[in-house]
Amino acid sequence: MVPVLRRNNFWYCPNCDQKSVTHEPAPHSRFHTCPGLRGLSAPMLLVGTKGKVELREREDYVNGDMVALDPERNRPVMSIVTTRDNGQDVAVFAPTATAKGA
């Protein structure tokens, strides 16, 4: 008989106090609504991984796009970048496409 082991992934957020546990065996990210990043949906870091999570504003004009907005500053946000010792993760906020206009 082979025992079925359940994997525990422990997560923390460097910008707020929130902690979490997931049991997904495949690679994944854990997101949460982060008060430290003005209420945006932001990724968490695995416990034991040092890093920073930063918000990046949209670099181009909004040009009629339905973009994600910084809830406090009302500025369009483009992505959240997680910089780790050994790499970088990015979560990009894709605007909603519409049929309106050219």
Spatial CA neighbour of 54 closest among 76, 29, 92, 83: 83
90 binds other proteins (CB under 8 A): yes
- Strand-strand pairing, 51-57 and 45-46: unpaired
91 binds other proteins (CB under 8 A): yes
Residue 37 to residue 53: CA distance in whole angstroms: 9
63 binds other proteins (CB under 8 A): yes
12 binds other proteins (CB under 8 A): no
Segment interacting with other proteins, rule: CB under 8 A, options 1-9, 15-23, 75-83: 75-83
Look at the alpha carbons of 58, 60, 61, 67 in this order and tell me if their dihedral is positive or negative.
negative
Segment interacting with other proteins, rule: CB under 8 A, options 3-11, 14-22, 72-80: 72-80
Residue 47 to residue 10: CA distance in whole angstroms: 6
Q: What are the residues whose beta carbons fall under 8 Å from the beta carbon of 46, sequence distance 6 or more? A: 9, 10, 11
- Per-residue contact track with other proteins, 22 to 51, x per CB under 8 A? -----xxx-x---------x-x--------
Residues at the site binding other proteins, with contacts judged by CB under 8 A: 27-29, 31, 41, 43, 56, 58-68, 76, 78-79, 82, 84, 86-99, 101-102
